[in-house]
Amino acid sequence: MSNNFLSWKAKYDAQKERKGPFFTVSSVPIDPLYAPGHTADIDYERDLGNPGEYPYTRGVQPNMYRGRLWTMRMFAGFATATETNARYKYLLKQGQTGLSVAFDMPTIMGYDSDHPRAYGEVGRVGVAIDSLQDMETLFQDIPLDQVSTSMTINAPASILWAMYIVAAEKQGVPAHKLTGTIQNDILKEYIAQKSWIFPPDPSMRLITDIFKYAKDNVPKWNSISISGYHIREAGSTALQELAFTLADGFAYVEAGIKAGLDVDDFAPRLSFFFNSHTDFFEEIAKLRAARRIWARHMKEIYHAKNEKSLLLRFHTQTAGCSLTGPQMENNIVRTAYQAMAAVLGGTQSLHTNSMDEVLALPSEKSVQIALRTQQVLAYETGVTNTIDPLAGSYFVETLTNQMEEGAEEYFRKIDEFGGVLGAIRENFFQQEIADAAYRYQKEIESKDRIIVGINGFVNEKKDDKMDLLKIDPEVERAQVRKLTALKQSRDNIRVQTTLTDLKETAQGTDNLIPKIMDAVRAYATEGEIIAVLKDVFGEYREQAVF
């Protein structure tokens, strides 16, 4: 450090410091000042590059938001396809630019609405989709060649994707014109969100089958959204989110190569999904580091030749886990800061949480405020006028470097387990996340960390009542009736034939997607298709740690 810095440090130390600790939301200690000495080793071309140039630290496009703003994509889904279809039309009318489907738990776990395990859960946290019929209703009068759709679906992703493709086909939109994303990221399910169905090997086969099918038939579709969001929500630190997500990404790249694909055949369609938590600079550093690490590994380790394979494109959602029940309106403020961090981190699309999501699915009013938060950010704050405005900041560049170093260290640890699947088996990720979540909670309880409205600035008076969205229990009964009627009216012999066909393919090694499409076209239900696959593949079980 320079003499100049040291003399400042002496003056600083001579003065009083207010009560700390000074650390990030991930408990990383932060220095009082960052100066040229911290970033002296940075080589602009090697470490940052111009936007749209290797290693893409400053952004994946040369023009970023000067060319086009991010896609404002609000995650939505509840009750039945009919209600959700109306919400989508409302959101599009409000200026939203892409759709994002939230499915209910039975759909996510592969159960039809009439399954005993679905009881009480139909249409609760998302929309209930049992068959192609529901998917057709979901997108009725929404031209699928004009919107891009993201679907948060993992273990049964192949089936819901097939339903979407066939629903579009029925609208007269060919698969090669479709744009959107399926989450399809099973590794983070084993690690964090725990919505799995099959064991890892057949799950990875389904994913590489999707990669292959997408390459030949749905080339503009993002075949996976490798997600840190849920890892973070489960309690990880920002660094763990970054490292575990990228490690998952490399595992998918290796799986694709192992399945016989050339890295450049599928890597351009890999996309990512990150969380944006409340610690402003830490989040920005995480996102900048993510692009650089991905580009370096794809080029140097996986020898990708196509420039598009090097680009880490991502969606961001603000942190649901940061929202508070008391003084719920404060969540609007939290979300606004988090959204700004995502934008300064160069996100391609963004979901802003609604203030009431801490207790229920969002009401129309609160979704509108959340969407307006993005519009204020885009059109009023001016942060979009120049690209990557924080580059060169001693602090942000130091944090970005620390993120990269920390992630590399995690990659080495994961390698010691023989890779991501080995580390999952040994509960490495699960334990790391549980430890971080517990530490965070303890910091709140000891008041080392202040959360406004929770352990500081608590209101004596009870909050005013909010109008929350309610799901009528009738929704479940209506959905079950619709499903029963479908099972009676469809060609059940054709359903059986396609399911038998699917089973044989599952027992072999051919691509499963065309067979799933056949079953979907015959109006086989999601639950029926999953049951056939479970028969062949078995089910995953976790040894839980806490």
Residues that bind other proteins (CB under 8 A): 105-106, 108-109, 111, 117-121, 124-125, 189, 193-196, 233-235, 321, 323-326, 358-361, 434, 437-438, 441, 444-445, 451, 453-455, 465, 468, 471, 473, 542, 544, 546
What beta strand segments (E) does 301-451 contain? 314-318, 349-351
Q: What is the dihedral of CA 201, 207, 212, 218, to 10 degrees?
A: 170
Q: Mind giving me the DSSP string for 117-176?
A: GGTTTTTSSSB---SHHHHHHHTTT--TTTS-EEEE--TTHHHHHHHHHHHHHHHT--GG
- If the CB atoms of residues 259 and 437 are measured against other proteins, the closer one turns out to be 437
CB of residue 433 vs other proteins: minimum separation in angstroms? 8
Q: Which H helix or E strand runs over 377?
A: helix 364-379
- If the CB atoms of residues 22 and 119 are measured against other proteins, the closer one turns out to be 119
Check the CA dihedral 387-389-394-398 and report its sign: negative
Place of tokens 């072999």: 508
Q: Tell me which residue of 443, 16, 526, 71 sits closest to 271, measured CA to CA.
A: 71
- If the CB atoms of residues 192 and 533 are measured against other proteins, the closer one turns out to be 192
Q: Strand 224-227 and strand 270-276: pairing?
A: parallel
CB of residue 29 vs other proteins: minimum separation in angstroms? 23
- If the CB atoms of residues 65 and 111 are measured against other proteins, the closer one turns out to be 111
- If the CB atoms of residues 115 and 288 are measured against other proteins, the closer one turns out to be 115
CB of residue 361 vs other proteins: minimum separation in angstroms? 7
- If the CB atoms of residues 113 and 347 are measured against other proteins, the closer one turns out to be 113
CB of residue 118 vs other proteins: minimum separation in angstroms? 8
Whole-angstrom distance, CA of residue 398 vs CA of residue 405 = 11
- If the CB atoms of residues 195 and 366 are measured against other proteins, the closer one turns out to be 195
CB of residue 194 vs other proteins: minimum separation in angstroms? 3
Whole-angstrom distance, CA of residue 215 vs CA of residue 217 = 6
Q: Tell me which residue of 61, 42, 41 sits closest to 51, measured CA to CA.
A: 61
- If the CB atoms of residues 216 and 539 are measured against other proteins, the closer one turns out to be 539
- If the CB atoms of residues 234 and 377 are measured against other proteins, the closer one turns out to be 234
CB of residue 456 vs other proteins: minimum separation in angstroms? 12
Whole-angstrom distance, CA of residue 277 vs CA of residue 40 = 29
Tokens of 446: 């000891």
Phi, psi of 523 (to 5 degrees): 65, 30
- If the CB atoms of residues 9 and 534 are measured against other proteins, the closer one turns out to be 534
CB of residue 459 vs other proteins: minimum separation in angstroms? 12
Answer whether 183's CB lies under 8 Å from 75's CB: no
CB of residue 160 vs other proteins: minimum separation in angstroms? 16
Q: Mind giving me the DSSP string for 307-320?
A: GGGG---EEEEE-G
At 40 the three-state DSSP class reads coil
Over its C-alpha atoms, the chain yields an Rg (Å, rounded) of: 24
CB of residue 286 vs other proteins: minimum separation in angstroms? 19
Whole-angstrom distance, CA of residue 153 vs CA of residue 127 = 12
CB of residue 272 vs other proteins: minimum separation in angstroms? 21
